[in-house]
Structure formats: structure tokens, C-alpha cells
Copies of this chain bind each other. A is one copy, B any other.
């Protein structure tokens, strides 16, 4: 088949597609994908976080965040409240419904994770994490 299997980028991409597929088919009834899930996790852990902070933490452009937040607003999972100290900022908060949904999502996500992490010993997993983090410092 050639050189492809010996390329780092190819192997990471294939792994990512495999994970994405399993996630899509098992988490959130196919309506929530990794990016949206990450955003919910972030909002839960940082109530009132602003879009710009999300963009920086996830290392993606702030314009990309807008659409994700709007999708969560439409699902009534988050609300935005303008900051009183800096009116440019809008704090994002999980709603009760969002929190409930996230509980379910987290459960499904953990089962999804487990289907892959159980392929590794804990030493191997720690090693894999360390190596991947060197790629996205």
C-alpha cells in the first residue's frame, strides 16, 4: 500500500476518524459531536467563560466559537449574559437543561472512551498522552 502507513499525519488522522465515528454513533444520539461536547465541558468547568477564552483554550479562531455557542443556545443548553464590568464580554453559563444533558453525554462519552482506552495498559496510555501532547503543545 505504500508509504502512507509510515506517516505520522496519516496515522493520527486515521485514529481521529475512528474515534470520531465511534463518538458520533454512541454519544448524544448522533446530535452532539466532539467540538460541541468540548465546549459544554469547558462552560461547565468555567461558568461565565467568554468566547474569546474558549477560543484560546481550544486553540481555534474566535469566529468558529460563535456558531458552536449559537447551536448550544438553540438547544437551550447555555445562556449568555453580558458582563457588567466589560460590556464587550458575554459570560456563557450552562442551563439546568444543559447540565442535565451534559450528565448523560458525559456518561456516554466515558463509555466511548473506555472502548478505546482499554486497548492499552495504563503505562501505554500515559505514554500515548505524553507523545500526543508533544504534537500539540
Q: Known contacts being A34-B13, A45-B1, A125-B8, is A134 close to B112, with CB within 8 Å?
A: no
Q: How large is the interface on A (under 10, 10 to 19, 20 to 34, 35 or more residues)?
A: 35 or more
- Stretch of A67-75, A77-85, A86-94, A116-124 contacting B (4+ beta carbons < 8 Å): A116-124
Q: Known contacts being A120-B131, A131-B127, is A15 close to B113, with CB within 8 Å?
A: no
State the Cβ distance, A8 to closest chain B Cβ, in Å: 6
State the Cβ distance, A119 to closest chain B Cβ, in Å: 5
- By secondary structure, the A interface counts as helix
Q: How far is the CA of A46 from the CA of B1 in the complex (A)?
A: 8
This protein's copies in its complex: 2
Q: Known contacts being A2-B42, A13-B34, A119-B135, is A128 close to B8, with CB within 8 Å?
A: yes
Q: Known contacts being A13-B16, A41-B2, A124-B131, is A8 close to B136, with CB within 8 Å?
A: no
State the Cβ distance, A44 to closest chain B Cβ, in Å: 8
A63 / chain B contacts, CB cutoff of 8 Å: none
Q: How far is the CA of A10 from the CA of B116 in the complex (A)?
A: 13
A100 at the B interface (CB under 8 A): no
